[in-house]
Amino acid sequence: METQAKLRILADSAKYDASCASSGSRRSGTKDGIGHSDGTGICHSYTPDGRCVSLLKILLTNYCVYDCLFCVNRVTSDVPRARFTPEEVVRLTLEFYKRNYIEGLFLSSGIIQSPDYTMEQLVAVARSLREEHKFNGYIHLKAIPGASSELLLAAGRYADRLSANIELPTPEDLAKLAPEKKSTLIDETMTKISSNVVAAKEEHKVLKSAPAFAPAGQSTQFVVGATSTLDGTILRRASSLYKHHKLRRIYYSGFSPFQNADARLPIAAPPLLREHRLYQADWLMRYYGFEAEQIVDADQNLDLQRDPKLAWALRNRLHFPVDVNKGTREQLLRIPGIGYRSVQRILSIRKYHLLSLADLKKLNVIVSRAKPFVVTTDHTPGASIDRLDLSERIPTPPKQLLLFDSQQSAIGGEL
């Protein structure tokens, strides 16, 4: 098969993996090398819902020995198959880079022969790029659960980021749709990566020339909507992963139905807005001090009509209003319309003068959303506004059209 035909198949097969951001790593160019990484990438691949993702994003192969029902590349699927050699991936990466199409590589793969064999192939690509071609661009490798500690260590020495996808949020989900995969094995792989990241940082404190290990850390991905698992369960699992494995990011990818799928899979994709709400909730856990249990509604799902921070505020009216000139950092972070950077600015400025609504606007606070929940020098909200009335008065953020579908929309806006 010609390289162009392989590329068409294996780039398309890679579009379901959203965990390919290139942030968090910086590599400088060298006089005898090629390329550099400044933490950003050129986007040339698109997910089914129109989101643009960065890097040359391909699979080494879409052959796979596993039969995960939610995966279009499972062993029983009838999709066209292709396989690159490590040398072909290296050549493609360099040629695309020299033409200024990309700034790095995201390389994943189906499992062929065994986890160790597949990981060896991925490491061979990264080793060739780094050692033989002195490539300093960004490299993100998929860590294969079950691969040996030695191979994972080698992968982290060459790659900027590693990711072992958790795939489904609970062991029960995996047993139902991917019985050959074990959550304990995935957790063990993630533990090895996080331990190596910590060890490399400690070694660097003692010896500055010590080699780095996955300097951009590790990430993972949940497939959302392939099972009936509730948002609360997903967020609790995410919180646990952040705590125990120090992940940089967790990605939430809505299940994409495909032809001739197993009857146990849903026939319709979950609402795109659900994926968006999960990202907002994830942000609240990482930067705003929220616990997973606080974010979801009584039914353990996220409110699709309101962003999770506003939904929490409406459920907890007794915590408001908050005086922005006296409230603690934790109290300010809970106010809708005030981002965590704005909170830092408020805490700094109020040392010198008291803040009004006009001052908040200058600090990029969305005053129309924050106004019912704050007290300033020139504003005190009415105490008699009930929850229902308040929810109707708060403006909805403008809708943002998707890239390829003007009939669908996702709600954006600062939390």
Average pLDDT over all residues of the chain: 85
**Residue 15: strand, helix, or coil:** helix
Residue 193 pLDDT > 90: yes
Q: Give the pair of three-digit tokens for residue 183.
A: 């959550």
For the ranges 5-14, 356-365, 405-414, which has the lowest average pLDDT?
A: 405-414
Scan for tokens 């490399």, then name that residue. Answer: 200
Residue 186 pLDDT > 60: yes
What gap in Å lies between CA 106 and CA 118, rounded to an integer?
A: 15
Distances in whole angstroms, Cα of residue 252 to Cα of each of 203, 244, 405? 33, 19, 20
CA-wise closest residue to 413 among 269, 287, 307? 307
Average the pLDDT over 273-279 and give the result.
95
Task: Determine what percent of the chain is predicted with pLDDT higher than 90.
Answer: 68
Q: What pLDDT, on the 0 to 100 scale, is given for residue 364?
A: 92
Q: What pLDDT, on the 0 to 100 scale, is given for residue 348?
A: 96
Q: Are strands 399-401 and 409-411 parallel, antiparallel or unpaired?
A: antiparallel
Domain ranges within the chain, ordered by starting residue: 3-263, 316-396
The highest-level CATH class for domain 3-263 is: alpha beta
Task: Give residue 202's Cα distance to chain centre.
Answer: 26
What gap in Å lies between CA 391 and CA 412, rounded to an integer?
A: 17
What gap in Å lies between CA 228 and CA 170, rounded to an integer?
A: 11
> Residues for the chain: how many in total?
415
**Torsion from C-alpha of 102, 24, 343, 294, nearest 10 degrees:** 100
Name the pLDDT band for 11 (thresholds 50, 70, 90): confident
pLDDT digits (tens, 9 = 90+) for 203-256: 999 998 899 999 989 999 999 999 999 999 999 999 999 999 999 999 999 998
DSSP 8-state assignment for residue 60: S
How many C-beta atoms lie closer than 10 Å to residue 250's C-beta?
Answer: 25
**Residue 69: strand, helix, or coil:** coil
Q: What pLDDT, on the 0 to 100 scale, is given for residue 36?
A: 44
Average the pLDDT over 115-130 and give the result.
97
Q: What pLDDT, on the 0 to 100 scale, is given for residue 19?
A: 63
Residue 48 pLDDT > 60: no
Q: What pLDDT, on the 0 to 100 scale, is given for residue 406?
A: 36
Q: What pLDDT, on the 0 to 100 scale, is given for residue 389?
A: 61
Residue type, 53: V
- Asked whether 373 and 380 are in contact (CB, 8 A), the reply is no
pLDDT digits (tens, 9 = 90+) for 124-181: 999 999 999 999 988 999 999 999 999 999 999 999 999 999 999 999 999 999 999 9
What gap in Å lies between CA 64 and CA 256, rounded to an integer?
A: 19
Q: What pLDDT, on the 0 to 100 scale, is given for residue 391?
A: 62
Q: Which long-range contacts (CB under 8 A, 24 or more apart) does 61-64 make?
A: 61/10, 61/109, 61/110, 61/112, 62/9, 62/10, 62/13, 62/110, 63/110, 63/112, 64/110, 64/111, 64/112
Q: What pLDDT, on the 0 to 100 scale, is given for residue 8?
A: 86
- Asked whether 164 and 193 are in contact (CB, 8 A), the reply is yes
For the ranges 15-19, 39-43, 122-126, 315-319, which has the lowest average pLDDT?
A: 39-43
Q: What pLDDT, on the 0 to 100 scale, is given for residue 414?
A: 59
DSSP 8-state assignment for residue 137: S
What gap in Å lies between CA 146 and CA 137, rounded to an integer?
A: 27
Name the pLDDT band for 294 (thresholds 50, 70, 90): very high
Contacts with 346 (C-beta within 8 Å, 6 or more apart), sequence order: 324, 332, 338, 355, 360, 363
**Residue 343: strand, helix, or coil:** helix
Residue 115 pLDDT > 70: yes
CA-wise closest residue to 159 among 216, 120, 208, 86? 216
Average the pLDDT over 51-58 and give the result.
67
Residue type, 107: L
Residue 398 pLDDT > 70: no
Residue 28 pLDDT > 70: no
Please give the model's pTM, rounded to 2 decimal places. 0.84
Name the pLDDT band for 383 (thresholds 50, 70, 90): low
Name the pLDDT band for 99 (thresholds 50, 70, 90): confident
- Asked whether 342 and 363 are in contact (CB, 8 A), the reply is yes
Q: What pLDDT, on the 0 to 100 scale, is given for residue 22?
A: 45
Contacts with 377 (C-beta within 8 Å, 6 or more apart), sequence order: 325, 354, 355, 356
For the ranges 43-52, 138-147, 254-263, which has the lowest average pLDDT?
A: 43-52
CA-wise closest residue to 280 among 260, 309, 251, 258? 309
